[in-house]
Amino acid sequence: MALGLYTLLLRLGLPFVALRQWWRHRGEVGRHADWKEIFGRYSERSLRSVIWLHAASAGGARAAVPLIRALQKQYPDHDVLVTSSSVAGRNAMRQACGEEVLSAYLPYDLPGATRRFLAHFRPRLGIVVGVEVWPVLLAACRLHGVQMVLANARLSRELARGYARFGSLSRPAFAIFAACCAQDRASARRLRQLGARRVIVTGNVSFDAPSDPSKVEEGRALMAALRGRQALLLAGTCQGEEELLLDALGQEDGTLIVVVPRDPERCDAVAALAAARGMNVARRSRGEAPHIGRRVFLGDTTGEMPFYYAMSTVAVIGGTFTRNGGRDLIEACATGVPAVIGPQMSQFAGLAHPVLAAGAAIRVADSREAIRAARKLLEIREWRERMALAGLKFGAAHQGATVRHLDVCRRLLPATSAEIR
């Protein structure tokens, strides 16, 4: 009953969704092919068995790379198909894996589209990275005998409440997963409450994703070229945060301010905000160097966070000063950059609390306090070094989730003797 009503509502809303998609991407070359895919019509096909992995966003795509590599090694006679729900997600996967994986957009959650998707690719195993539940697609997978795994699942209290409001629809969907790999115990408990059956705490595969060494090297080279000038990174800022943080900076003190907005399409607006405050801006996408006289270095490129962290002395984490629920702290730990976070970390509470307890980050009440704390860190080298070491140790201690995920996949899809060789 609930699934039927859900499908009916999707059908009724489909024209509006399609119009919105066309309007957002009307100027982009090649988008006509995407229209076919979101309705379950694909041209690319594999002649081998397929393991299907879905990573909706750019962050999910990057987090999935260690698992993709492990699957390719374990199942060399299979192709890995990676689906995305966004342009950014697909671009991030192409950047990370190139032609080594099949790439497609996930179809709309409608019976015909999902049926065509499964019939075309015929996956032997499906893996959804993150908590993304599509009831019609999951029901179709069960009908076609495709075992499904929920991977790297982090379920906040707010998201769990949202799913619980539609329990008649979400509970049967969660029950379809043959296994759910949770990042932490709190997520595991919430998944069970939502109807998931086999739930295992595996940790976060993002800890196993090495930072791009070429980007890290490039960032450190730029830091050295600054000749003692320190860089303060404003990482993954959201709308409304840049004004707060830039205003809190006050007068020029010689520190380079590296601003990397979460949404690249907002970079022009952020550059205008800085210029309106009398700050000279250099933009990464234009090859402009952050030499003396440039106060702000705008990170207006995608997939380069390791570069921006590596060139920075201290990071203030965006998404934590407005109601966005925070940001991932893994990259800060991996590059040994002390982090300052604001009061809003509800979406990443399971990670933020242990990082704070380890001494790799400090938490403040608002943007002004964040800038004051960052400046103190810039002044006290010994404090920075202790926090950096704590972050590196924390990251190393939490590696290994990929192996645990792969063990779950092996139980559902045993490798043949030929594949093991």
Q: What is the mean pLDDT of each run of 10 residues along the chain (421 residues)?
A: 69 63 52 72 88 88 91 96 86 84 92 95 96 94 96 93 93 97 96 96 92 91 92 96 95 94 92 95 94 92 92 96 85 95 88 94 97 97 97 96 97 61 33
**Residue 360 and residue 401: Cα distance in Å, rounded?**
21
Q: Where in the chain do CATH 3.40.50.2000 domains reside?
A: 213-397
Q: Which tokens sit at 216? A: 């890290």
Residue-level pLDDT at 384:
97
Residue-level pLDDT at 60:
82
The DSSP 8-state label assigned to residue 75 in this structure reads: -
Q: Please report the sign of the dihedral spanned by the C-alpha atoms of residue 220, residue 226, residue 228, residue 232.
A: negative
Beta-carbon-side half-sphere exposure of residue 190 (alpha carbons within 13 Å): 20
Residue-level pLDDT at 349:
82
Contact 82, 103 (CB under 8 A): yes
Q: Which fold has domain 41-203+400-420?
A: Rossmann fold (3.40.50)
Residue-level pLDDT at 90:
84
Q: Which fold has domain 213-397?
A: Rossmann fold (3.40.50)
**Residue 288 and residue 294: Cα distance in Å, rounded?**
10
Beta strand spans in 163-208 (E): 179-182, 199-201
Strands 123-129 and 49-55, bridge-based pairing? parallel
Averaged pLDDT of the chain = 89
Q: Mind listing the pLDDT tens digit for each residue in 369-384?
A: 999 999 999 999 999 9
> What SS3 state is found at 129?
strand
Q: Which tokens sit at 286? A: 């234009």
Residue-level pLDDT at 31:
47
Name the region of 184 (left: φ>0; alpha: ψ -120 to 50; beta: rest). Answer: beta
The alpha-helical segments, DSSP class H, found in 25-129 are: 31-38, 58-74, 87-97, 111-121
Q: Where in the chain do CATH 3.40.50.11720 domains reside?
A: 41-203+400-420
Could you count the other beta carbons within 10 Å of the beta carbon of residue 11?
A: 12
**Residue 8 and residue 420: Cα distance in Å, rounded?**
45
